[in-house]
Amino acid sequence: MLLPSALVHAQNVSASGPSYLLLSQDPDFLEQLSKVSSTAYSSGRTRLVSLSVPLNELPAWIASRLREVSPGEVYNGPAAEGAEKDADPEIISIISKADPGRLMNYARDITMTGKRNSGQLDYSAASGNRQAMDYIAASFKGLGYSVERQCYKERKADKECNIIARRAGEPGNRAILIVGHMDSVGFENAGADDNASGAAGVLEMARVLSGYKSAHSLIFVAANGEENGITGSYACARIMKASGELSKVDWAINMDMISWNRDGILEIETNKEFSAHADWVGAQARLYTNLRPYIAMPAWGSDHVPFLEAGIPTYLSIEHWEDHSPCYHKACDKLESLSWDYAVQIVRLNLAVIAGKTRLTGLPPKP
Ligand SMILES: [Zn+2]
């Protein structure tokens, strides 16, 4: 479904020459790009430029971060209204178990592991990246999940791995995948918003869902290497496709940067083919949280992209990019000034989406 307002935006986008979607908003890239481009569209996460020189004359590291898009693919604005029904008391009871304090504790523990870039695995087998892998694996295990280290790259001092937790659903049933990246750009004890917050969201969802039997199988992925080319999630999609597991995944959820807030807006990012699904997610946000849901298209630059490219309906939940963390990709991306009341709303939304899509039955409390 193409929203009427998307058409209005689309006409604005098509005004002059080809438009290129920014596939990165790293500050260095933005600075270099600004010298050879002008803004064609800018709303939230979705930024398009017109180039003043041909794409093939740009340095490869800049050209590789641009993708030509057609106007009809582009939208950034409020999710469609009107899809809401009445809130389900059972869903309210499930999602209210997500706790801002626990979420913050997970994020703090991940943040404080040291230097968390996967490239650090070339220098030390005790790097922050390794510590974060171990911490997340132990946390999943403590919650009763079966845990896999999905290693896809040899590093000089260690292996680069995703940490995957699984619990089987009913026999013959389908699966839901929840992903968030655990690595950072690599500053010491930083990357709290990007993306200890999203990895903590994966753990907190796993904690809440450990109290329920799910009809769908659940697959939680703490992805590595996102900041170095989304390597972990590309490897995960490739390995799961080869094993046949990916064909069982009905849809997937990504959390990246969920803890910086000024205006309560959440961006739900996907590709146009799944915009109706994203609008449904937006409706759940209005029903079960105090978030203001926006839809962003097309998708770029995080762990949802490999799964979208594999044809899985996937969305990214992310803080409002119009006013994102000023410490994005900087050493000051620390726990202070982040909002766990906002982050927990996003976790509750993603739990409500799962509860709305599969049957969850409460398990007796663990002894
Ligand atoms: Zn990130």
Position 83 scores a pLDDT of: 59
Closest to 298 (Cα-Cα) out of 73, 138, 141? 73
Centroid of ligand 1 to alpha carbon of 94 (angstroms) = 27
Mean pLDDT, range 346-366, rounded to an integer: 94
In this predicted structure, the answer to whether residue 24 has a pLDDT above a threshold of 80 is yes
Å from CA of 261 to ligand 1 middle: 16
- Tens of pLDDT, residues 111-159: 999 999 999 999 999 999 999 999 999 999 999 999 999 999 999 999 9
pLDDT score of 251: 95
- Find the range with the poorest average confidence among 12-26, 32-46, 97-111, 260-274: 12-26
Rounded to the nearest whole angstrom, what is the distance from the C-alpha of residue 218 to the centroid of ligand 1? 22
State the average pLDDT over residues 311-339. Answer: 95
Ligand 1 centre to CA of 299 (Å) is 14
Q: How confident is the model at residue 16 (pLDDT cuts 50, 70, 90)?
A: low
- What is the whole-number distance in angstroms between the Cα of residue 3 and the centre of ligand 1? 28
SS3 100: helix
Ligand 1: centre distance to CA 142 (Å):
26
pLDDT for residue 85 is more than 80: no
Centre of ligand 1 from the C-alpha of residue 181, in Å: 7
Ligand 1: distance of its center to the CA of 255 in Å? Answer: 9
Among 345, 335, 324, residue whose Cα is nearest residue 257: 324
The reported pLDDT for the residue numbered 26 is: 86
Measure 172 CA to ligand 1 centroid, in angstroms.
34
What average pLDDT does the structure give for the chain? 93
Residue 61 confidence (pLDDT) above 80: yes
DSSP category for residue 274: G
DSSP 363: P
pLDDT at site 145? 98
Residue 46, CB-side half-sphere exposure with 13 Å CA sphere: 27
**In angstroms, what is the span from residue 196 Cα to ligand 1's centroid?**
9
**Distance (Å, whole) CA 71 – CA 9:** 8
Cis peptide before 306 (omega within 30 of 0): no
**Distance in Å, CA 152 to ligand 1 centroid:** 20
Segment 65-82 mean pLDDT = 92
Which ranges constitute the DSSP H helices of the chain? 4-13, 27-34, 60-63, 89-95, 100-111, 128-142, 197-209, 231-243, 275-288, 304-309, 340-357
269 DSSP β-pair partners: 296, 316
Q: Which two tokens stand for residue 317?
A: 């939940």
Least confident of 1-10, 256-265, 300-309: 1-10
Ligand 1 midpoint to CA 260 (Å): 13
- Residue 77's pLDDT is 95
Interval between CA 93 and ligand 1 midpoint (Å): 30
* pLDDT value of position 4: 39
Distance 302 CA to ligand 1 centre (A): 6
Q: Find out whether 149 and 137 touch, Cβ atoms under 8 Å.
A: yes
Give the pLDDT confidence score for residue 84 in this predicted structure: 63
Q: Say how many Å lie between the CA of residue 224 and the centre of ligand 1.
A: 10
Distance 175 CA to ligand 1 centre (A): 24
Can you tell me the mean pLDDT for 86-102?
96
Model confidence band, residue 1 (pLDDT cutoffs 50, 70, 90): very low
| C-beta separation of 264 from 323 below 8 A | no
Average pLDDT over residues 266-275: 97
Rounded CA separation 175/313 (Å): 12
Distance 198 CA to ligand 1 centre (A): 8
* Distance in Å, CA 191 to ligand 1 centroid: 8
Residue 341: the pLDDT is 98
If you measure from the C-alpha of residue 325 to the centroid of ligand 1, how many angstroms do you get, rounded to a whole number?
12
CA of 226 to the centre of ligand 1 (A): 7
Q: Which chain residues have CB less than 5 Å from ligand 1, an ion?
A: 194-195, 256
Ligand 1 centre distance from Cα of residue 7 (Å): 30
Find the mean pLDDT for residues 305-332: 96
CATH number at 89-362: 3.40.630.10
Please tell me the distance from the alpha carbon of residue 14 to that of residue 17, in angstroms, as a whole number. 7
- Name the residue type at position 142: G
pLDDT at residue 81, rounded to an integer: 84
**pLDDT value of residue 161:** 98
DSSP-assigned states of every residue in 313-340: -EEEEEE-GGG--TTTTSTT--STT--H
Cα(182) to centroid(ligand 1), Å: 9
User: For residue 227, how far is its CA from the centre of ligand 1 (angstroms)?
Assistant: 7
Q: Which pLDDT value is given to residue 186?
A: 96
Helix (H) or strand (E) holding 163: strand 159-167
Question: What is the phi/psi pair of residue 160, to 5°?
Answer: -95, 120
CA–centroid distance, 29 to ligand 1, in Å, is: 16
pLDDT grade for 12, boundaries at 50, 70 and 90:
very low
State the pLDDT at residue 367: 65
What confidence score (pLDDT) does residue 181 get? 98
Counting residues of the chain whose pLDDT is more than 70, the rounded percentage is 95
* All CATH 3.40.630.10 domain ranges in the chain, comma separated: 89-362
- Across 133-147, b (16+ Cβ under 10 Å) vs e yields bebbbebbeebebeb
- Find the 4 Cα to ligand 1 centroid distance in Å: 31
Model confidence, pTM: 0.94
pLDDT at 213 over 50: yes
Contacting residues for 232 by C-beta, under 8 A, at least 6 apart: 118, 152, 160, 161, 162, 181, 183, 223, 224, 225, 226, 303
